[in-house]
Structure 1
Amino acid sequence: EMADMKVPGRGCTAALAVLLTFSALGRCAEQVPLIMWSSEGSATTSPSPPAAGHVVSGDQLESYLRAALSSSPHNVLLFMQERLSVDDFTMYGGVFGNKQDSSFTNLEVTLQSSTTSLVLPAVDSLATGEVTGLLQEQLDTSPLYMDPETLAQLRLNASVATLLVFRLPYGTGVDMMSTKDVLSGNDDVIGQVMNIMNSQSVPYTAVYTALSASRTIEDVPLSLHSVGRSLLQSRQKISPPVEFQEKGSTCILLWAENLNVELLRSGKWERHDLAPMTFGESSRVKLSGSFCNASHSRLVLNYENVLNFRSFKLIFAMSQRHYKVSARRWFTMDQVVLEYDGQKATFNASRYVYAPAEYSYRCESVSSFRYAQLFPHSDKDRANQWRLSFDDFQIQGFNVTGQDFSYASDCASFFTPGIWMGLFTSLLMVLILTYGLHMILQLRTMDRFDDPKGPAISVPQTE
C-alpha cells in the first residue's frame, strides 16, 4: 500500500508537501496527520489515496494499516505525540521554512532514506487515538513502551513481531518550553531511535502521529455563505489583524475587538471606538511611522477626525531582551502613547503587558482604569484626562511567522476568583476541624472515684 505513495530520492519534500496541499484545501476540527515509513517494502495492491480535503476515518485507517503491514517488516515503531497538526510542519518544518531552522531535520532525513512512505494529512483524531490498538490487533502482540536508552539495550529479532511505542510530549505542557523547542526535542528522539535501528540492521516500519490535534481550525462550509436573504443564519465575521511589514515580511500583528479612547471634556467622558477604523474592510488606518528590528518595535496607527482632533495617533512601543533569571528572552509593551494635534499622553504598560519573545500577548481587557494595566507616565496632567480600554486585545511585535499570531500568553492569572473561593473555604474547614480536635484532646477523666463498698466519708462537725 505504501508503494502507491512512494517517495524516492528527494521524497521527503514531496511527501510533506502533500500535508500543505491538504491543509490548504480542507480543514476541520480535530484532524491529525499520520506519517508512516519503512526500511523495506514492496509494491502491493492498495486502496486509492484519499482525495484532497478528505478526512480518513477509523475504518479507512485500519485498511491502510492492514495493507501496509501485509508486506512491510513487523518490527513496528510507533511515535505517539500528545498533539500534532499540519500547521506544526508548515510553521516549523524545513520544507516550507528556513532549512537551517527546521524542527523536523531528522524526520526529513529519515523519509528521504526510507524505501516507502505514506502520508495521511487529515485523519480523524478518534482514529489516531486507536492506532496502538489497531497495530496490536494486526501484529497480535502487546505494545512495549520504550525510550531510546532502553531500546539500545534491546536486541530485536526480524522474525518476531514487536510493537515499540515512544511517547512524545507537546510544547504547551512541558515547563513553559516553546512548541518549537519541544518539537525539535521530539525530532531528536526520532533520530536516536532510527540510528539504533540502523545499527542493529533490523528492518522496521515506523508510524508518527498524535492523540489529538494541536490546532483546531473551524472551516465554514460554502453552504453557510448566503447568496440572498437569510434569517437567523448570519455568522460573525472575524476581521484580520493589523499587519505591519518590514522588508517584505510581517513583524508586528495587532488585533482587538474594541479600541476605546475616552477624553474628559467639561466634566464628561467622550468615548470613541477606533476598532471599526482599524480592522475590516472599512479600515482607514495608516501605519506610517511604524518600524521593527531585533530589539525594538513600534506600531503607529494614524487616524483623522477622532474626537474633533484632525490628527490622532495611537502608538504601541515594544522591546525585547534576554533575562538571566528566566534564561530566555521576553518582550514587553513599554508604552502606549496618544498623540493628538501636537499634544501627547503617555501610559506605561511594561509592568503588566509582557510575554515570552516567541509568544504573542493576549488579554480579555487592557485598561487604564479597569484593572489598571496602563499607568500615566511622564505627562501626568494630560494622561489623566484620557482613559484607554482595549477588549479582547492581542499583540505580537517579535518573531512573527507568516500572518498568524504565535501561541498566546494570556494575562489571566492562575489564581482565579473560583480558585480563591475554594482555597478560603478549604482553609475555613481545616480551622474548624483543628479547633474540634483541639477541644477533644483537652477532655480529662476524674483521677479518683468514691468506693460504694467502703466506709462513708465522715466530716466532723464542730460546735
Structure 2
Amino acid sequence: MAGSRGSSEARLPAFIAIFLAFFCTGNCTAQVPLLMWSTDGLPPLASSAAGHITSVDQLAAYLTVAFSSGPHTVLLFLQDKLSKDDFTVFGGVFGNKQDSAFQNLEATLQSSSSSVTLPALEWSGSSAIPALLQEKLGVSPLLVDADTLSHLSINTSISNLLLINLPYCTGLPTSCKEVLHENDKVIGNVLSVMKAKNVPYTAIYTGLQPSRVISETSVSDQSVGRSLLQAVLPDVKPPIMFNVSGNPCIMLWAQNLSVSLSGTSPWIDLAEQTPSLTGSMCNTSNSRLVLSYPSGFTLSFAMSQRFYRVSARNWFTLDTVQLQVSNLTASFIGSRGIYAPAEYSFHCQSVSSFQDALLVPNNTNQNTSQWRLNFIDFQIQGFGLANGTNFSYASDCAGFFTPGIWMGLLTSLLMLLIFVYGLHMIMQLNTMDRFDDPKGPSISVPQSE
C-alpha cells in the first residue's frame, strides 16, 4: 500500500505526480486507483515501494481501523471506469492546472486535512468496493446526486453510505476529457453541499472497473543479470587485436572500413568480415597490422614511433595504408594529422582519401588513384598498450578551433569593435558653451549687388 498524510504543502500539491511514480513491476493484474480524504482525519498509512499493488484484504484492514470509532458518513464517488492513466492523460501533470480535468478534486486533496492515495488497487469485481464499505459501516448504500443531497437530511448519529455514480466516456479522448471534467464538477457540487450542511464526511473516489488493463510480457522464463542486459543492449563488435606472446601489441576498431574502386563503384564494408592477422608484426619502434579478408582484400597499416626533442616525448604516426586485391596494390600516406603520443591511441570520426583527406594517395603507385578509402569512427593504437584489452586515452583528430568557433569569435570581435566605436563617438559629444542673446541685435549680413 502507498499513501500520504500531512500538511497540504508537503502532502499533495499536485496529487497526479504520485501516479507517475508507480508502475507495474511484474505481471500486471486489473487495477483501479482509489483516492480517499476526510474532514475528520484518517489513520496514517505506511508507504511502500513503487509498483506495489494493494490487495482488497489490505484495504479492508485499513478501513477497519479508519471506521473503528463512532459513526461515519461516507461519500462514495463510483465512476463506471477509472485507471491511473486517466490522471496522467487528462490531469494537470505538467503544471497546467487550467487544462486539468480534475481541478476540483486536486484542490480538495490539497486543502484536505488528511488524504490517502492508492494508485494501484487490485480489482476483483464491480461490487467489491461497495460491498466492502457496506460491510465495514453496517449500512446499505443510498444512491444520491447533488440535487437530492441538498434536500436530504443526514443523521450524523448513525453511519451513512452515500453513493454517487459517475459515467465514463466511450468515444474520442476529447469527449473523455469533457466527461471527466463534468464528473469533477459533480464532485465539487456534492462537497459544497456537505460543507453547507456542516456534516463531517469521508470521501472515496474510485472506479467500478479499470478503463485500461495493462499487460506485460512475463520475464520469468528469461535469464536475468548480465544476460538480460546483453539482450537489451545492441551488440558491439570487439576491436581487432594483434598479440605477441600473449600480450596485446596492436589494436584497431572502426564502425566501417569501406573501400571503392572508383566514384561510381559500390562501397564494400570490410568491417563486416572477420580478417586474418597473418603477416602482422610489432616491436618498440615499428608496428604493422595486416588484415586479410575472405573476400580477397588485404588492408595493411604501417606505424612507427620516434622521439621528438621539441616535445620531449615519443610520438607514433600512421605512415602508410595499403590496399591489395587480386594483383592490384593501392598505397596511401598518412601525412596529415594521423599521429598521437606513443602512449595514446589515435581516433577520428572520418578518415578518408577523397574528402578532407587524411590519407594522401601515393603518386608512385599507379593503382592508388583508382581506389577510395573511407573509415568511419576509426581508432588505432600500435604502441604502449598498457591497459590490456582497452585502448589508451585517445588523441582525436578534431581541432579545438572549428570553423564554427572561428566564425563566432570573429563575429563577436566585430560587434565589440562597433560597440567600442559607438561608445567613443558618444563620449566625444559636447554641449555648446555659448548661446545667442535673443534680446540683442540680430546679426545682419550685408548683401552686395
Q: What TM-score range do you get, normalising by the shorter chain? A: 0.3 to 0.5
TM-score by length of 2: 0.46
Q: Which has the larger radius of gyration?
A: 2
